[in-house]
Structure 1
Amino acid sequence: MQDTMAAIIPCHYCSSLSVSKRPRSHIPWGNISHVNAAWWGRQLSLKCSLKSSQKAQLHNKLDEKLFPLKECAISIALAVGLVTGMPFVDWSPNAYAANPAMTDLSVLISGPPIKDPGALLRYALPIDNKAIREVQKPLEDITDSLKVAGVKALDSVERNVRQASRALEQGKSLIISGLAESKKDHGMELLDKLQTGMDELQQIVEGRNRDAVATKQKELLNYVGSVEEDMVGGFPYEVPEEYQSMPVLKGRATVDMKVKVKENPNIDECVFRIILDGYNAPVTAGNFLDLVERHFYDGMEIQRADGFVVQTGDPEGPAEGFIDPSTEKTRTIPLEIMVNGEKSPFYGATLEDLGLYKAQTRLPFNAFGTMAMAREEFESNSASSQVFWLLKESELTPSNANILDGRYTVFGYITENGDYLADLKVGDVIESIQVVSGLNNLVNPSYKIAG
């Protein structure tokens, strides 16, 4: 195999790196501002075949070049990762961002970019119901209220709860009218539970029990998210004809990924809960869920864990993706990007290729644990089975300045135990990925044909 797979992590510069026994599918990364990234790429053009002495010289040169940038926290944070965490580096001029724009989700909440995966999934639903959003937002704001030290935080939490309760009371009829007819009874049951839960949260706050707030908040937001899902009556658009015969997820699905962690005294194994979003990436999410049901990932090692991404999905042998037994060829899927304001995703081209420089993706790379498909650098439709999860905070690569959005297909988020992603290392083993719910939303599952 040729060394065509790499990852690009630019911050005032562009770099590509490969960190495993095999070249990996290309994953560009990061944040560009003020300085032309392509220029940096040309100035620092290096190959991956550096010898030890060359690498030492490179590190010294990088130290000299990065010294004037010490005031840039983002540059230093990413540069340290590059210089100290990687065995070799290949600088590339091929990644850049043009006219970066803040995501619509950030504008919606009038604050910093959303980085909570649950909130991102709620806002990504194909619904338009202002009343339920006005209940959702103050409940989400409790997270920021709890950042205040001590019991003083409870004063802000109490205001959040009162605002949410008032919004539910005043907007309940509009919320009910927005429920899909086939799901109305279930949605109304959830609304009753939501109201009861908010009364209980009010009592928790009045009792000054700060420790119990976050658990109850999570419960209430789960109710809100379920109510919002009950507003979706059916799949909102047609997948392009050329992809309709592929496994397609028409809705959402939840899976649990159990990982055996080696050589870590603090954790032996961990179960990551992942929500796959077929509303915004039906072909990609369907492909992954189909592979899960084939047990493709069971027993597979984590193949990359470099502090920036965790990656897996490259099978043993010369193939770099899933070989479909019915064709004996690698099954590939198209690049699939849903943009705010559009009814269906764009296929086969990056937003940059389409000239949509200011378009905002429905599923942004904001959250720690964002899940996306890896692919070859210059082949938009080359993704197959290799997936990666993002390890970063929004403050380091904010959504209004990163170059991942619109270039790589996001199709889900880790919603539970995501913090443990940072503990994974190359060689840790995915013991199993099991479907919790949503398998009924998978259309054209090839695993059934294979069975």
Structure 2
Amino acid sequence: MASSSSLLCCHCRSSFSAPKPSLSSPRRNWGSQRLGFKCSSSRFPQLESEKEQEKSSFGLKECAFSLALAIGLVTGIPHLDWDAHASPGPVLPDLAVLISGPPIKDPGALLRYALPIDNKAIREVQKPLEDITDSLKISGVKALDLVERNLRQSSRALSQGRTMILSGVAESKRANGQELLDKLEVGMEELQRIVEDRNRDAVAPKQKELLQYVGAVEEDMVDGFPYEVPEEYKDMPLLKGRATVDMKVKIKDNPNIQDCVFRIVLDGYNAPVTAGNFVDLVERHFYDGMEIQRADGFVVQTGDPEGPAEGFIDPSTEKIRTIPLEIMVTGDKAPVYGETLEELGRYKAQTRLPFNAFGTMAMARDEFEDNSASSQVFWLLKESELTPSNANILDGRYAVFGYVTENEDYLADLKVGDVIESIQVVSGLENLANPSYKIAG
């Protein structure tokens, strides 16, 4: 298994910038914005850069309203067809949605909250631990005082809710759940000593460790796959659970980086068809040796094979294998298929896997065909600030199926022509049902 130690170093981050027009593709003028795209697979809407948002002197409501207007003016719909169609703008999201609260941007937190569980006690342990991240943004010793308050809240929730937490763990995993909670309790005591010693630098690593215990307990609460995939898709490769992959990229023309390994967690609980399709292609080594085909400061994209086909040609049918658009909405028991949330009129619906995190992974598809995704994938190079779930134009239109959880910041250093040396499944392959390849050994 590749490790992140193969990443040498990179202290300079590339600044966030708008996509640059490609000479090989047509340009469309959206007000003063010009959009162009290198890869022949997909077009993406252009949002305001975070630098521009930070320069804004508006208040929160004014910023949100301006952003809503900007979304309607400058966005286009991604597609595989390169004809210059006029693309209608989306219905403006409710201002109440835009200002409903700060989005969760940490990929680990997004994955924890996306688990199909309903156990209030463990969430009450989790949230104060998550809040330590915000507490550490405060300068000086006050940050440690806030961390101590977060820790007390979490520790009290664990003490009072331990029985309820264990009752929510699947019976076959209860012993493991008990062990994890014991480790969590010890870890909290260690964090308390760190705070008392005023060792600020040691807080974040210990917080990460504690949240890993919490996440593991929450995963043990999932007992089997929670719903049936629709009949028309049940024989496709399906990821019934989660899997982790390591993507090793050979980076050219960058003296600071050589080989970079990106760890990606794929969420089959919320996107079984989409994640299953990807794992199946990974096991076929479809992406090994493939170049990065788009890297413009907005997204990094790959998956377009050589030749005229824009997706994976299944050797058993000699046709491109496509998968349906698959969106899980918070509160729903199963994903919706084949239609965007906008087409369904669900403008306020929140997606379970939102485009909030830098390195959100999703499928590219044709603009006018919801069920046209095949093998082309992209990673978003932004974080949601003023745009909570379903208010950033991408949510509900593209199928998110995972997040880069390690080395995600280095995605911004990738360039067109950098080579994916390999993608390997490091855990969770047993969750893949109906693989279309023969697993060796």
- For Structure 1 versus Structure 2, the TM-score category normalised by the shorter chain is 0.7 to 0.9
Q: Which residue of 1 aligns with 2:434?
A: 444
What is the CA-CA distance between 1:399 and the residue it aligns to?
A: 3.2
Q: Is 1:144 aligned with 2:134?
A: yes
CA RMSD of aligned residues (A): 3.1
State whether residues 29 and 402 of structure 1, in contact with CA within 8 Å, keep that contact through their aligned partners in structure 2.
Answer: no
CA separation of 1:70 and 1:141: change in aligned 2, threshold 3 A: closer
Q: Which residue of 2 aligns with 1:44?
A: none
Counterpart contact for 2:325–2:338, Cα < 8 Å: yes
Preserved CA contact (<8 Å) 1:16 1:90:
no
CA-CA distance at 1:347 after TM superposition: 0.5
Q: How much has 1:103 moved relative to structure 2? A: 7.1
Structural mapping, 1:15-414, within 5 Å = 16-20=35-39, 23-30=40-47, 92-100=86-94, 111-395=101-385, 397-399=387-389, 401-414=391-404
Measure the CA separation in 2 of the matches of 1:144 and 1:195: 22
Greater RCO, CA 8 A, separation 6+: 2
- Judged with a 3 Å threshold, the aligned counterparts in structure 2 of structure 1 residues 70 and 127 are, in CA distance, closer, same or farther, namely closer
Contact 1:8 1:27 in 2 (8 A): no
**Cα displacement (A) at 1:186:** 1.1
Q: Is the 8 A contact 2:264 2:405 kept in 1?
A: yes
SS at match of 2:121: helix
Offset, 1:335: 0.2
Which residue is 1:65 aligned to?
none
- C-alpha deviations, 1:192-222, integer Å up to 9, x for none? 1111111111111111111111101001101
Do the aligned partners of 2:97 and 2:391 also contact (CA within 8 Å) in 1? no
Name the SS for the 1:27 alignment partner.
coil
CA distance in 2 between partners of 1:424 and 1:193 (Å): 38
CA–CA distance in structure 1, aligned partners of residues 84 and 216 of structure 2 = 45
Q: Cα gap change, 1:13/1:124 in structure 2, threshold over 3 Å: closer, same or farther?
A: farther
Shift of 1:99: 3.2
For 1:9 and 1:163, the matched residues in 2 are separated by: 52
Quote the Cα distance in structure 1 between the aligned partners of 2:141 and 2:27. Answer: 45
Taking only the aligned residue pairs, the percentage that are identical comes to: 75
Partners of 2:347 and 2:390 within 8 A in 1: no
- 1:299 aligns to what SS in structure 2? coil
Q: Is the 8 A contact 2:360 2:403 kept in 1?
A: yes
Structure-2 separation of matches of 1:246 and 1:427: 31
What does the per-residue CA deviation read over 1:290-310, in whole Å, with 9 as the maximum and x for residues that have no partner? 001111111111000000000
Residues in 1 aligned to 2:299 and 2:327: alpha-carbon distance in whole angstroms: 20
How much does 1:16 deviate? 4.9
Whether 1:434 and 2:441 are equivalent positions in the alignment is: no
Aligned counterparts of 2:389 and 2:289: Cα–Cα separation in 1: 34
Return the alpha-carbon distance in structure 1 between the equivalents of residues 27 and 67 of structure 2: 18
Residue 85 of structure 1 corresponds to which residue in structure 2?
A: none
Task: Structure 1: state its 5+ residue gaps.
Answer: 32-68, 83-87
In the alignment, structure 2 segments of 5+ residues that lack a partner are 1-22, 49-55, 76-81
Distance in 2 between residues matched to 1:404 and 1:294, nearest whole Å: 29
Within 2, Cα distance between the matches of 1:270 and 1:314?
21
SS at structure 2 position matched to 1:184 = helix
Aligned-residue offset at 1:134: 0.5
The number of residue pairs the alignment matches comes to 396
TM-superposed CA distance for 1:369, in Å, is: 0.5
Name the amino acid aligned to 2:38. V
Provide the TM-score with structure 2 as the length reference.
Answer: 0.83
Q: Indicate if the aligned counterparts of 2:351 and 2:389 stay in contact, CA closer than 8 A.
A: no
Cross-structure match for 2:19: none
Residues 177 and 208 of structure 1: is their aligned pair in 2 closer, same or farther, counting only changes over 3 Å? same
Alignment CA distance shift 1:399-1:7 (3 Å): farther
Deviation string 1:330-379 (CA, Å, 9 cap, x unpaired) is 00000000011110000001111111111111111111100000000000
Q: State the SS of the aligned residue for 2:426.
A: strand
- When structure 1 is superposed on structure 2, of 182-191 and 407-416 the one drifting more is 182-191
Deviation track 1:215-271 (CA, whole Å, cap 9, x = no partner) reads 010011011011001000010000001111110000000111111111112211211
The letter for the 2-side match of 1:448 is K
Q: Which amino acid in structure 1 is aligned with residue 275 of structure 2?
A: A
Distance (Å, rounded) in 2 between the aligned partners of 1:173 and 1:441 = 29
Question: CA–CA distance in 2 between the matches of 1:273 and 1:360?
Answer: 26
CA distance in 1, matches of 2:250, 2:347: 41
User: Matches of 2:260 and 2:439 in 1, distance apart?
Assistant: 32
Q: For each residue in 1:132-154, what CA deviation from the matched residue of structure 2 results, as whole angstroms up to 9, or x when unmatched? A: 00000000000011111233311
Closer/same/farther in 2, CA of residues 103 and 18 from structure 1, 3 Å limit: same
Greater displacement, 260-269 / 410-419: 260-269
